[in-house]
Amino acid sequence: MMRLTPISNLMAKPSFLPPFMFGLLFATFEVILSAKYSSFTVDQSALLALKSHITHDPHNFLATNWSTSTSVCNWIGVTCGSRPHRVTALNLSSMDLTGTISSQLGNLSFLAWLDIHQNSFHGSLPIELTNLRQMKYLDFGNNSFNGEIPSWFGCLTKLQRLSLYLNNFIGVIPSTLGNLSKLERLTLAGNQISGRIPNSLFKCKELKFLSLYKNSLEGSIPTDIGNLTLLDSLYLGDNHLKGHLPSGVFDNLSKLQVLSLESNQISGKIPNSLFKCKELRVLLLVNSSLEGSLPLEIGNLSMLQYLYLGANNLIGKIPSTIGNLTTLEVLHLSNNSLSGEIPLVIGNLTSLVRISLDNNNLTGEIPPVIENLSSLEHFFLIITN
């Protein structure tokens, strides 16, 4: 015969549940706390490893502040996120630090911002930095890093800004940088980079700022630069680039504000497509081998502030359309073969601070309208009668 369990017994059994649940919750909390503490310890260890690689800290920024007696999130230059509570940003810029980058820095798996520019870090960059997959902003500028630019930068696909300027990098620009589809600013200026500009770089359609200034780059200017329709600043000056300016490269660069191509071996005429860039503020084509006359279309650049076309092979008259450049502050046309008189419309350029017209074949008299240029500080001119 089946025996029924008394209701009083059934109701008594749940009394054993709270202690069991308490134990379970305590164990779970202990695991979570342990994991959180372990993760936080990883960040602390990574930063202490970096500190141990710093051989000179003249202002004692890290020596006195980076201590295990205080929370990592209170250390100078360190920023932590709220969820999870991990190191997300490290800014050690302009601290006059000397040292190398430790491989343990790659353990900061939530790091999205790393800025150590204007120090004296040297050596090569450890491959462990490829673990920083959350990285968006990376500035290693104005240090003494050497070796080739690592191809593994192409693994950091969330990068929006990469600054490696004023270091001692050699070799070529790695084609893997073309994988950085979110990249907005790339600065490699002031290194010893050689070879051609890789076409893969122009897959980075979000690029707004591209500086390859003062390297040893060779070859012609790629026409694919025209694919960077968001580009507002292009610095290619002081390299070994040669050939003509490709006529179609500027057709789609309607946002371009700065064009720096000076001190190269660029020849041929200035293409008319350049004057479609009506947002242009700075045009640096000085010290090249440009030839032909100064196009009438230069007057289309009504927002231009700095015009440097000196030390070329330009001929003909200064076009009267130059009077449209009413925001111009510097007009540099010296060391060419320009002829004729200075146009009277130069009196329209009331913002001019500097005029350089010397070493040409200009004739006639200095127009009296020059006296109306109240902002003018420097005027260089030699006239042949």
What distance in Å separates the CA atoms of residue 57 and residue 244, rounded to the nearest whole number? 49
Q: Is residue 193 a part of any domain in this protein? A: no
271 located within any domain: yes
Q: Is 228 helix (H, G, I), strand (E, B) or coil?
A: coil
Cα–Cα separations (whole angstroms), residue 237 to 44, 230, 311: 43, 20, 14
Contact in structure between 142 and 120 (CB atoms under 8 Å): no
Question: 253-297, pLDDT tens digit by residue?
Answer: 999 999 999 999 999 999 999 999 999 999 999 999 999 999 999
Let me know if residue 75 belongs to a domain: yes
Q: Final residue of a domain: which of 76, 102, 128?
A: 102
Over the chain, what is the mean pLDDT? 90
Which tens digits make up the pLDDT trace of 361-377?
999 988 999 988 999 99
Query: What is residue 34's predicted lDDT score, i.e. its pLDDT?
Result: 41
> If you average pLDDT over residues 193-200, what whole number do you get?
97
| Side-chain half-sphere exposure of 251, counting CA atoms within 13 A | 7
- Contact criterion met (CB below 8 Å) for 260 and 237: yes
pLDDT tens per residue across span 154-175: 999 999 999 999 999 999 999 9
User: Residue range 176-194: average pLDDT?
Assistant: 98
| In the predicted structure, residue 1 carries a pLDDT above the cut 50 | no
What ranges make up the beta strands (E) of 106-231?
Answer: 113-115, 120-123, 137-139, 144-148, 161-163, 168-170, 185-187, 194-195, 209-211, 216-217
Which of 39, 70, 102 represents a domain boundary (last residue)? 102
The count of domains in the chain is: 2
Position 164 in a domain: no
pLDDT at 15 over 70: no
- So what's the pLDDT on residue 380? 85
Q: Which of 82, 102, 122 is the last residue of a domain?
A: 102
**Residue corresponding to tokens 């305590």:** 26
> Which residue has better confidence, 364 or 115?
115
In a domain, 366, yes or no: yes
Q: Which of 16-25, 241-250, 297-306 has the highest mean pLDDT?
A: 297-306
Q: In this model, does residue 24 exceed pLDDT 90? A: no
pLDDT at 246: 87
Residue 150 lies in a domain: no
- In contact, 213 and 234? CB cutoff 8 Å: no
Side chain identity at residue 203, one-letter code: K
Longest distance between any two alpha carbons in the chain, whole Å? 134
Q: Is residue 181 part of a domain?
A: no
Task: Say if residues 182 and 160 touch (Cβ distance below 8 Å).
Answer: yes
In-domain check, residue 44: yes
Q: Please report which confidence band the pLDDT of residue 21 belongs to, taking 50, 70 and 90 as the band edges.
A: low
- Does residue 140 carry a pLDDT above 90? yes
Q: How confident is the model at residue 381 (pLDDT cuts 50, 70, 90)?
A: confident
Q: Residues of 126-155 as b/e, b for ≥16 C-beta within 10 angstroms?
A: eebbbbbeebbbbbbbbbebeeebbeebbb
HSE, CB side, 13 Å, CA atoms: give it for residue 205: 2
Q: What is the CATH number of the domain that holds 271?
A: 3.80.10.10
Domain containing 98 equals: 26-102
